Structure 1
Amino acid sequence: MKAVPFRARPASRRAATTPAARRARRLRWRLTALFALTSAVGLIGLAAFALHSDDVATRHQTDNNLKLQAAEAMTGLDYDEGGHLDIRGMLDFTETDCPPLTVFSAHAGDLKVVHTPHRPCVRARMTDVRAIAALAVRRGDTAVTNAHAENGHPLRLVAVPFTGPDGDTTGGAIVTAADTADDQKSHRELTLLLAAGCAVLLSLSAVAGHLISGRAIRPALNALQQQEAFLADAAHDLRTPATSLRLLAETAMRDDTSRTAALERTVRLATRMGDLIDGLLTRARLTAGVATLAREPLRLDQLVEAVVDETPTDGHRITVDTEPVVVDADPDLLRRAVTNLFANALTHGHAAGRPAAIALGVSSAGVLTIDDAGPGIPPDLADSLFDRFHSGSGSTGLGLSIAAWVAQAHGGTLTATGSPLGGARFTLRLPTHSG
């Protein structure tokens, strides 16, 4: 059977199935959505501002060009002695076909076409041209509007009024036009480009927000896992002493003759429970990173022998073969690890109804081996043997996980392989004392 080493798994994976962890994941997705929504509002706002600015700038440029063309044409207008409009000067020096220039004369509230381009590059509908010319004459100011050419293209029409022969009244208007199809096409392309850019940036923003929120809640997930590990380990270690305390109390209440002995055992058991609680708190502090191991030189062989002597064996065959060895370790935590490994062998190292055959060995290299003659390690548990809540035979699976954690905390290892006795062998390796 291959060795099964202890592998520490990320706290976020170990706590991923708890209700608190699921709430944390939902919070992470909410934070991601909020981050993406905020980014979307900002990006859409900037894109809308950019599109509006581009549209306004394009229209202003077109209008200014048309107004400049009309103003230049207006310098060629004159009146004869009879007060009739003379456009010969305009025709001599101004191109009136592109952009097309249409000249209207206003007389007695009526508009008369004085000039239309012969081959205009843009053919505006005459009704639209006359309408904007009338508006400019009526207002006495420049008029601008959108229209459509005869071929359906969008147009920009500008009408600029000019003064009459007396210099005070409005004598007519010059209307010029520009095809804005290319400008609108460029605007649509800019809209598509900005939309695609916003989509890409929004996706990147959502991914970044998800990663950032994951980093933000990771300490909370670790804290949840540590809290749950502490509660589970406390329940595991205190369940048996608490049951024993209850039995001793019931015995003392029923039998007066054994009351003194029961009380003495109760005191010893309460002292042990206090030590267990201190050890659990120490582990919780170590896991949280707020305390360090209380390392000291100790005899591993003597600790193992003491654990075997203090543990009720109930008729099981126990063999202990030790060599003197000193390791640097926390006495309480190491005792708990050895106790859990020995208890696991007593529980699972034999067939139902038959005594267990367990062999414990300690070598001078700081290696503890515990062999049993049980059914061995089930194949379906080989990869998760040292994970919390992964065990068999109705066990909580915490004893081995605590032992594996103690080994790792001391810079050692805990592995599981097949045993020469036919069952499982657990091997705990610890660094020896160098002094």
Structure 2
Amino acid sequence: MTRAARLDGARVAWRHSLRFRLALIYTLLALAITSVMALGVMALLLRSMDRQFDARLNERADVIAERFSNPARSLGVGLPPVGYTALVSPDGTILQASSGLNLKAGEPFPYLSQSRVPLLGVPIRTVTRKAGDFGTLWVGLPEEDLINARESATRALLLALLVTPLLMLPVGLWAGRRALTGLGGAADLADRIDPTRSLATLPLPDREDEVHRLLAAINRLLVRIEAGQAREKQLLGQIVHELGAPLTVLKASLNRAAEHTGDPDVIRSALVADELTFTTQDLMQLARGQLEMKLVWHYIPARTLQGRLDRLVPGTAFQGDWAAGILCDPDRLTQALRNLLANARRAAGPDGTVTLTLNETPEQVTFTVRDSGPGLPPDLGDRIFEPFVSGAGSSGLGLSVSRQIALAHGGNLAGSTAPGGGAQFTLTLPGAALNETDDEVSEELLDEPAILAR
């Protein structure tokens, strides 16, 4: 996955962004505050309306009861048409009743002891008063208006709770974008920093807020990282320089001993010294911040390459067509394949199998290294080819060097877990595609004993 693709993926994951989390928290807090305030206001409003209703009911009951306190004034006067009223005798029978109650004089009054009475599906709130010598005055008012007001307030509250997050979340996202603009730009700049080159500091915003403080701390960290990398590169360069001279002497001595004695162990040691020499050169290039290599091209028989690899990594099973010829840098290609085979042997263990298959077409030469080990770690992916990244406890430099060698040849190196298990690495090189002139050159190269002796 490219860096641009990773950045796009990070932008798509909006639900994980700091801006969205801040907006969500802002919205939830606003919703909580709005809910508490609305509930409080609604409770106060409904309580006030309830008190006003009770005051109105008691006031009317007092006014009507006052009319019966003077028998001379109330004699022959009917009950006023205010809500529902009834005059009940001391024995509990009806003396007078409003027409809406559908009760007749002389009947027992059924609602005297009830504070709320449902009449025709409408709740009625009631009070009683002493009506002088006549008995008890019963007065009731419908609560329909109060209930409608309570339902309207509840609907308004629910609407406010629904509209608040719909409005506050976009506002929070907009405010978060404005507040975190500097941080987002700094993140984009940080993503474009190439760690293999000189680390650049991030620009600081004009306002000295928390973002300014964070970016300043990151800049100080980058300065310390760059200083640490410089010290590490210097130390690595010194170590490689110190190893280079004795390795050169050892390589020359082993080569002379191999020519004089022909001992297989001495020949193998000379090849190992060659590999160590190339490894120190790669480390030197890595210490300089880049991995560059110069190739010396030869057209060699594949059998020659097979013999070198068989001596370097014993126990490798060779499959495919090894009777072909390969246009390559023999030393570098040997180094790349040797790294792959060594990793495969390490993963497969002493009792496992390691195979190297060669397939050649006019357009492409393919080397496939497969082992019977557990396969590649799924969490590493293509990062396994980065320097010092390893899933098997090794230094992690071999795969990176092998891919660089393949790329320098114009090919590539890819790795995966084989369908049947185990790791599988495929190194491809362009085909030789020799014409007649190239055939003459290749014949001259094959005639050189020095090339065949490698």
User: TM-score, normalised on structure 1?
Assistant: 0.39
More helix by share: 2
Higher relative contact order (CA 8 A, sep 6+): 1
